[in-house]
Amino acid sequence: MRLVEAIRRSEATGPTAMFLVLLAVVIALKGGRYSLFDAQNLAANVLPLALVGLGQYFVILVRGIDLSLGPVMSVSSCLAAVLFPYGAVPAIAAAIAGGVAAGIGNGLLVAWLDLSPVIVTLATMSVWQGVSLVVLATPGGTIPAGLQMALTAATVVVPVPILLLIATALFGAWVMSTRLGLHLRAIGGDAGAAEASGVRVRRQRFAAYALAGTLAALGGLYSAIATSAGSPIIGDSYILPSIAAVVLGGVPLIGGRGSPVGVVMGALTLNIIGSLLYFANLSDFYQSLINGVILIAVVAAAALRSWVWRAVPA
Amino acid sequence: MLRVQDLDKWFGATHAVRDVSFDALPASVLGLVGENGAGKSTVIKMLAGVVTPDSGQMLLDGAALRVASPREALARGVDSVFQELALIDNLTVAENLLLLDAPQRPWRSIRRRAARQAATEILSRYELEIRSDDRVGDLPLGRRQMLEIVRAVHRDPRVLLLDEATSALGEGEVRWLVRLVQRLRAQGKIVLFISHRWEEITTFCDRVAVMRNGALVHIAEAAALPQEQAVELMTGHGLGDAYPSRAAPRRETLLSVEGLRSAVLRGVSFSLAAGEVLGLGGLVGQGQSELMRALFAAHRLDGGRIVLRGQAMRPHRPDQAIAAGIAYVPQERKAEGLFLDKSIGFNMTYALLDRLPAPAGLIRRGHERGIVADAIARLRIRTAGPGAPVRSLSGGNQQKVLLQKWLLTRPALLLLDDVTRGVDIGTKQEIYAIIREAAAAGTGIILYSTDTTELVGLADTVLVLVEGSIRRQLHGAEVTAAAIVDAAIGREAEGAPG
Amino acid sequence: MSDVPAETRPGRSGVLGLGAGLVAPATSLVVIALMFLGCDLLIPGFVSLGNVMRIAELAGFLGVVAIGETLVILTGGIDLSIAWVVTGAGCVFTAVSGGATSMLVPALAAALAVGFVAGLANGLGIARLGISPIVMTLGMNNIMQGLTLLYTNGTPTGGTPPVIKTLATGYAGPVPVLVLAWAALAAVVIVALRLGRGGRKLLGVGENPLVSRLSGIRNERVITAAYLCSGLAAALTGVLYAGFSGASFLGMGDQFVLPAIAAVVLGGTSIFGGSGGYGGTIIGAFFLTVLTTILAVVNLSAGVRDIVYGLVIVAALLLNRLSMRAAQ
């Protein structure tokens, strides 16, 4: 059956399965009580991570990394909180523009000027951190409660957060189905061969960073709306998880392959593990510890697997 | 017509291409032959936009051909297939073929099925039996080469450059290429063809241009150029002369190897005496490098026995092999042999670090400087000084540094993997002398060379490898170019397509 | 198959590859001089011995942690775990010592053990399991954060023994003790890198691990040693900084990550590994400390300071890259 074959071959299957298993565990721990409301909450909680994770995915796909995506989220979160009194449109536009600008900045430095992504994004991280502090020094600001309700609690046939999550996954899948997606995979697989084959490597790499910045901004925007407040430090807790979501989504750090839907599943998985912590009655202090362990464990597992099959290079 | 005039190119201290001029006519195939490092690939790379000439010009159908990148060359109708394939291994065949122009829907998604069908159509048009949705990385090398060629031809270029594009093709596949090239000829296209296999040159080419040391020394109809004359033109001397005389008598057994098995090797057994030079012959890629690397723990062995100086051993890491007295000079000196951006001194003593006198872990600079200066003088390495970066040296001098690095470890067994590649004639002679000297001193030497003449000139014994196993062993007087070539192409072999 | 050289990184010239590599620290030195001059114009008397010494002292903390970062970046890797290794070691030190001299040795041992374990884990993960340095050290950073939070239960306790306080804040005549200690450490590091066997191996592994391995070097040992040193250097910095502030506090290590890496890169060490040295890092550390000081003196808000700091580093990286291209 073609559908079965497609599922078997898809790179999103593993992460999806992992998420479903963990979800089942959580449901069991809750005594089988899992309502649409719970699913809605899960989606609302995960959406920012899914968005920034998707952005990180595009960058990792081309063998890069963007450590500044966290502060970019903070910037858009603060811009939104500060500008909403002037209207929803300017607030949202500014928030997104901030992300685009960040992405363009990183893209120019890494893709066109060939600077190392690690040090560049560490430096721009400081810049965007500063910008968010300038815009809004302490968490607060005004975000209309109505908007919060609309985006987190409302239901249009299906709860809005779930719709948005699905939209995120679909967006990712759409990008990867285009020529851009194909070229990103090519660049990640072998940038030299891609260049020799006529792919505009610099341009596409730049696009990956620009996309990442924009998605991170969307994540920050949603986070601000969902919590009804902007925060200049909201992004700090998203940097490592954004990479973890990508890795959990089955994407290797050397890039070249991986499914965007898998990344969304990775974000869901990471979030669910947080819930499990809650059930295990572990304090919040364990959260970052567990995140770190998961990240290393997943990558180590992949490394061990290839180590078993590895022959000394001939 | 494609015209090349006074093309010139320097790479650092190496004059890679010297005032080369020739014409390539439509509906014909021009072969370019020469030893490694003669400049043929550089000429092709200039036409393909990968390298820019320092001076000279290129004209295509009367118009100046100035290409600064592969993309520009493609736009002018110049397409190329190199030995380093430009295929992307993690993508499928269809994705590689239609990388730039995959059919898409109004909302920009690629139409997968249409793409697959288009790819299948292309493949069948060129009689290539692979599936559109196979992952390129999973295909055997021969098929990948064929795919690369199909991709280039499909772009309908005016000029097709084939640089060692047949290295992994078996007989049936070569016949496929012959048909393809004949079609191109019939369409009036211009084809340039580089190959090391003389039979291919005579099969494919109408005219042949011979290059030596960066210059074009001869151009003639392929039918009018016998192989011996071509070899003489390529090497600058006749077959059989210019090798130091062999005198070493056989001594005690240094190395004995039994049943070596690996992903590439299939039960290789032989023995080597101290002071003996053992040559490895055969077509490229039959396991010669892997055999040497296996002895050095740079290629994983699945089974077999190695006995060196009477001791059974199985090194798992290169440092263990070195400790046992083995030295390996790799083929890719730039990627595997030398630190290009480090000084000559740094490179020369790098394999010696744990043996240099170093109280409290600090290297005795004076002692080290002495060793390096001595080596530079003895090998007549032309350089500004021991601090000069290796990158600034000519290919020949780089090779001398690499060789000396390993000679300094005083090995009992020296493994030389195509050490005269990309090296000028003068330096080659010097290297031959070094090899003879080492052999005379009792070092056992295993030597792989793509140059049959060199094998004949240097080796006491030759093992001809075919597909990972020893097809023939030739000793002493049996070692002739004809015998090696015969065994290598295996006249009695089956011609099943790869 | 031809002898066309592969296009790798910008080439270098000069003895041991330092020719073009001196461009970056030289540029930094010039800029530092300019900055001092500029400040002296704005604030007469800024360039005084006292101020310079104070800047040197601050640069010392950065300089110590940057020792480890230098070694790690020379191998072609990076250490993003220094933030919480510094904090963790600092917290352990103050908690175990409680400010008492009698507990100095155990506290020091415990703090260095923190750095040792973190560094060793990093090294093993990266060298033996082949985990990407970014992932491994970022993950380790989180792990150290979690462990530190659990250990201190959210509130660091204890104090620093007088000896360490003196080391971190005391003066021997006009020169801060810390600067003297840093100078001694720096001398050891520079000698080890330039003249030591280990230093050579490090440079080789960083420039081309394949060539290094085929030359008989045990790459994994070299890399693990580098990360081990980084962990120890970070732990030492945590101890010293706790001495400087009189107590440890959560997040005290965060301020070191970007500056340490920037100091190394702006000092001329290639981010790809294989060339550079600690001398350049020292200059880079000074440059960044002067920058931080100026930003503090000019009374900008925290946010603006971060922006300027980040932009200056980007500009410096650009300058670095462009000047290397020109030197080819």
Q: Is A311 inside any structural domain?
A: no
Q: Is the dihedral of CA B372, B378, B379, B380 positive or negative?
A: positive
CATH code, A142: 1.10.3470
Per-residue pLDDT at A280 = 80
Which residues of C are less than 8 Å from A65 in CB distance? 134
Query: Looking at residue B82, what is its pLDDT?
Result: 86
**Which element (helix H / strand E) includes B162?**
strand B159-163
pLDDT tier at C248 (50, 70, 90 boundaries)? very high
Write the residue in A113, A123, A132 that is nearest to C258 by C-beta: A123
- Distance CA(A167)–CA(A56), nearest Å, equals 17
A183 CB-near residues (< 8 Å, 6+ apart): A194, A199, A200, A204, B99
| Higher pLDDT pick, B199 / A20 | A20
Q: Taking all residues of chain A, what is their mean pLDDT, rounded to a whole number?
A: 89
CB-count exposure of residue A281 (10 Å: 0-12, 13-18, 19+): exposed
Q: What fold characterizes domain C15-327?
A: ABC transporter involved in vitamin B12 uptake, BtuC (1.10.3470)
Residue C20's pLDDT band (boundaries 50, 70, 90)? very low
Structural domain total, chain A: 1
Inter-chain residue contact A293 with C321, CB threshold 8 Å = no
Contact C200 B346 (CB under 8 A): yes
% residues pLDDT > 90 (chain C):
63
Where is pLDDT greater, at A308 or A177?
A177
pLDDT digits (tens, 9 = 90+) for B97-141: 999 888 999 989 999 999 999 999 999 999 898 999 899 988 988
Q: With a CB-CB cutoff of 8 Å, which residues 121-150 of chain C face chain A?
A: 125, 129-132, 134-136, 138-143, 145-147, 149-150
Return d(Cα A118, Cα A64) in angstroms, integer: 8
Least confident of A253-257, B189-193, B336-340: A253-257
Counting one residue from A and one from C, how many pairs have CB atoms under 8 Å apart?
Answer: 151
Average pLDDT over residues C222-228: 97
Strands B444-448 and B413-417: parallel
Q: Based on the domain organization, do B190 and B228 belong to the same domain?
A: yes
Q: Is the pLDDT of residue A228 over 90?
A: no
Q: Which two tokens stand for residue C237?
A: 């910095």
Quick check: A177 and B109 CB within 8 A?
A: yes
Contact C5 B391 (CB under 8 A): yes
**Residue B85 near chain C (CB below 8 Å):** no
Name the burial class of residue B12, with classes exposed (0-12), middle (13-18) and buried (19+) by CB atoms within 10 angstroms of its CB: middle
Residue A92 covered by a domain: yes
Which chains have at least 3 CB atom pairs separated by less than 8 Å from chain C? A, B
Q: Are residues B101 and B178 in the same domain?
A: yes
User: Does the structure show a pLDDT above 50 at C17?
Assistant: no
The answer to whether residue B245 sits within a structural domain is: no
B182, B40: one domain: yes
Chain B (400-439) residues lying within 8 Å, Cβ to Cβ, of chain C: 405, 421-422
- State residue C31's pLDDT score: 75
| Res B51 pLDDT > 90 | no
Residue C271: count of CB within 10 angstroms of its CB: 21
- β-pairing verdict for B266-273 and B277-281: unpaired
Q: Is the pLDDT of residue B248 over 70?
A: no
Q: What is the pLDDT of residues C54-92, one digit of tens each?
A: 999 999 999 999 999 999 999 999 999 999 999 999 999
Residue B308 has pLDDT above 90, yes or no: yes
**Rounded CA gap, B302 and B285, in Å?**
19
Query: Which two structure tokens, joined as six digits, stand for A211?
Result: 């996309």
CB nearest B362 (choices: C191, C217, C274) = C191
Q: Are B389 and B340 in contact (CB under 8 A)?
A: yes
Least confident stretch, B486-495, C132-141, C317-326: B486-495
Cβ contact A114–C321 (<8 Å): yes
Contact call for residues A26 and A143 (beta carbons, < 8 A): no
Confidence of residue C10 (pLDDT cuts 50, 70, 90): very low
Candidate from A77-91, A255-269, B372-386, C33-47 with smallest mean pLDDT: C33-47
Same domain, B268 and B210: no
A112 touches chain C (CB under 8 A): no
Which one-letter DSSP state was computed for residue C4?
P
Q: Above pLDDT 90, what percent of chain B?
A: 45
Residue A226 is assigned to a structural domain of this protein: yes
| Domain assignment of residue B167, given as a range | 2-235
Write down the pLDDT at residue C14: 28
Q: Which residues pair with B455 in a beta bridge?
A: none
Q: What is the pLDDT of residues B56-103, one digit of tens each?
A: 999 998 888 888 888 888 889 999 998 778 899 999 999 999 998 889
**Res. B6: pLDDT tops 70:** yes
Q: Touching check for A127 and chain C: CB below 8 Å?
A: yes
Number of structural domains (chain B) is: 2
Q: What is the DSSP string of B377-424?
A: HHTT---S-TTSBGGGS-HHHHHHHHHHHHHTT--SEEEEESTTTT--
Q: What pLDDT shows up at residue B244?
A: 66
DSSP-assigned letter for residue B250: P
| pLDDT over threshold 90, residue C125 | yes
Give a yes or no: residue B244 inside a domain.
no
Domain of A259, in residue numbers: 47-276+287-303
CB B159 within 8 A of CB B152: no
A-chain residues near B45 (CB < 8 A): none
CATH assignment of the domain containing B188: 3.40.50.300
Q: Are residues B351 and B482 in the same domain?
A: yes
pLDDT at C22: 57
pLDDT tier, B162 (very low <50, low <70, confident <90, very high otherwise): very high
- ipTM summary value: 0.88
pLDDT level of residue B195 (50, 70, 90 thresholds) = confident
pLDDT at B151 over 80: yes
Question: Do residue B330 and residue C198 have CB atoms under 8 angstroms apart?
Answer: no
pLDDT of residue A202: 95
- Which helix (H) or strand (E) element contains residue C123? helix C104-127
Quick check: is B247 in a domain? no
Which range is least confidently modeled, A182-186, B9-13, B14-18, C205-209? B9-13
Chain C residues 165-194 with a CB less than 8 Å from chain B: 191-192
Domain boundaries, chain C: 15-327
Residue B168 pLDDT > 80:
no
Between A19 and C45, the higher pLDDT residue: A19
- Asked whether the predicted pLDDT for residue A70 surpasses 80, the reply is yes
Query: Chain-wide mean pLDDT for chain C?
Result: 87
CB B92 within 8 A of CB A172: no
* Tens digit of each residue's pLDDT (9 = 90 or more) over A97-126: 999 999 999 999 999 988 999 999 999 999
- B160 vs B194: CA distance, rounded Å: 11
Report yes or no on A35 lying in a domain.
no
- The minimum CA-CA distance between A259 and chain C, rounded to whole Å, is 20
Q: Does A39 touch chain C (CB under 8 A)?
A: no
Q: Tell me the shortest Cα–Cα distance from B333 to chain C, in angstroms.
A: 9
Query: Among B235, B263, B280, where does a domain finish?
Result: B235
Q: Is the pLDDT of residue B380 over 80?
A: no
Q: What is the pLDDT of residue C24?
A: 62
Task: Evaluate if residue C40 carries a pLDDT over 90.
Answer: no
The C residues from 190 to 219 touching B (CB cutoff 8 Å) are 191-192, 195-198, 200-201, 203-204, 207-208, 210-218
Residue A4 has pLDDT above 80, yes or no: no
Residue B363 to residue C215, Cβ atoms within 8 A: no
- Output A198 or A72, whichever has higher pLDDT: A72
C17/B336 Cβ within 8 A: no
Residue B275 forms part of a structural domain: yes
- Does residue C283 surpass a pLDDT of 80? yes
Instruction: Give C128→chain A minimum CA distance, Å.
Output: 10
Given this model, what pLDDT does residue A308 score? 62
Q: How far apart are CA A106 and CA A65, in angstroms?
A: 10
DSSP-derived secondary structure letter, B460: S
Residue A151 included in any domain: yes
Lowest mean pLDDT among B239-248, C155-164, C173-182, C259-268: B239-248
* In C128-218, alpha helices (H): 133-152, 162-169, 177-195, 197-207, 209-214
**Averaged confidence pLDDT in chain B:** 87
CB pair distance less than 8 Å for C150 and A289:
yes
Q: Which residues of C touch B81 (CB under 8 A)?
A: none
Which residues numbered 29-58 in B keep a CB inside 8 Å of some CB on A?
50
Name the amino acid, one letter, at B436.
R
Which residue among C1, C13, C192 sits closest to B41, beta carbon to beta carbon?
C1
> What pLDDT score was predicted for residue C208?
94
* Higher pLDDT pick, B71 / C155: C155
- Closest Cα in chain B, distance from residue A145 (Å): 36
Same domain, B37 and B174: yes
Query: In 3D, which of B449, B410, B409 has the Cα closest to residue B432?
Result: B449
B246 within some domain: no
In a domain, A191, yes or no: yes
* Residues B354 and B462 both lie in one domain: yes
Q: Is B337 exposed, middle or buried (0-12, 13-18, 19+ CB in 10 A)?
A: buried
Mean pLDDT of all residues in B372-390 = 83
